[in-house]
Amino acid sequence: MAHVLIEQYRFAKQEWLRGHENIPAEDALKRLGHANSIGWAVGHLAEFDQIVWIERLLGEPLTKETKRFGFRRAASTPQLDEVMRLWQAIHQKVDEVQESLTTADLAERPTMWGRPSDENVLMWTLRQTWHYWYHLGEMQATRQALGHENLPDFVGRIPAEAQWQKGFDFAKTGDIHPLVDQTRFTKEKWLLGHKDLTAEDGVKRLGHANSISWMVGHLAGFDQAVWLERPRGIVVNEAVKACGYRQPASTPDLNEMLDAWHAIQEKVAEVQAELTAEDLLVHPGPPGNQSPENLGTLMLRQLWHYWYHLGEMQGLRQAMGHEKLAQYVGGIPKKYRWAELNA
């Protein structure tokens, strides 16, 4: 088994592949508004994988055919089977490279363009994991806007090897646990995705997609359930429950949902600030009815959940014609760079 961070990255890729099931080739060519095509996004992720794991670590690219899908490259509409073949070839090579990585390797800052990289391999792994969740959400937004139905739910079942585990942790450098730090960073990025979003566009539904306002309530409700209501009996806002898992689509007021989200986050932040490494290994719930996932895994699930819905929201905004949206994953401030592991 590879390092647990690599297993989490592989799980993100498996979920991303699951999101491609039953895509008609002609739909992978379509562009809605300013959104890139699904085919372009496949080439884009293949190129980023190649840069991170092949060019930076081995020195030479496997192929130059994916260079046209790099960061800020022009939009295009490649055939899905063509770019998926490129992705599979790169994926196979990346797997070989990753299999031998150790904790010490993850702390390395390989030379890139003649100088040491600003981020170590650990940060690359986190960044690319989040990148996959983001583009999975973006792709699902496109598919729903095109009218695709009965799409899979995400985040799915997290395999044992990708769950938060005893003996693995980030080195703590501040007053709060680094996984809490990662969650806060993710939520900052998610909030940035709402910049200049109007209340009117927040309630629009494209095809079978939920409204952005529903997604806000959905994420607020999940945070409230996991961190406040189930363990402590605290309910900050009842309305967000209408946006729970498999609840019917609706168009709640965007500002009301954001207000509820902020109120819930204030309480959640207080709880999470006290979390220890030991707490993350606990399976919450009463005896006989405990969660199958420990708190660390639940935090990972929600962190990936945010990246997924951020991608979904940005996909919908682009389909509506919104321009000059923020780029993701984007810059990671030094205060959020979790450069070391304890194991």
Q: DSSP secondary structure string, 116-164?
A: E-SS-HHHHHHHHHHHHHHHHHHHHHHHHHTT--SPPPSS-PPPGGGS-
d(CA 306, CA 284): 21
Using the 8-state DSSP alphabet, how is residue 112 labeled? E
Give per-residue pLDDT as tens, 148-180: 999 999 999 999 999 999 887 777 667 788 899
| This prediction's pTM | 0.96
Contact 190, 306 (CB under 8 A): yes
- Given pLDDT bands bounded at 50, 70 and 90, which one contains residue 184? very high
Contact 126, 182 (CB under 8 A): yes
Give per-residue pLDDT as tens, 53-73: 998 888 889 999 999 998 878
pLDDT of residue 339: 59
Q: Quick one: angle between helices 295-319 and 212-224, nearest 10? A: 170
Q: Span 237-244, mean pLDDT?
A: 97
Q: Span 314-335, mean pLDDT?
A: 91
d(CA 156, CA 7): 15
Respond yes or no on whether the N-terminal peptide bond of residue 180 is cis (omega within 30° of 0). Answer: no
The pLDDT of residue 309 is above 90: yes
Residue 342: phi, psi to the nearest 5? -80, -20
Q: Span 28-52, mean pLDDT?
A: 96
pLDDT of residue 116: 79
d(CA 89, CA 86): 5
The pLDDT of residue 343 is above 60: no
The pLDDT of residue 43 is above 90: yes
- Given pLDDT bands bounded at 50, 70 and 90, which one contains residue 221? very high
Residue 341: phi, psi to the nearest 5? -120, 150
Cβ of 18: how many Cβ atoms within 10 Å? 13
3-class SS of residue 111: strand
Give per-residue pLDDT as tens, 275-305: 999 999 999 988 888 899 999 999 999 999 9
Give per-residue pLDDT as tens, 85-97: 999 999 999 999 9
Distances from the Cα of 228 to the Cαs of 38, 177, 294, in angstroms? 38, 19, 16
CA 337 to chain centre: 17
Amino acid, res. 134: Y
- Given pLDDT bands bounded at 50, 70 and 90, which one contains residue 337? low
More confident: 107 or 320: 320
pLDDT of residue 285: 85
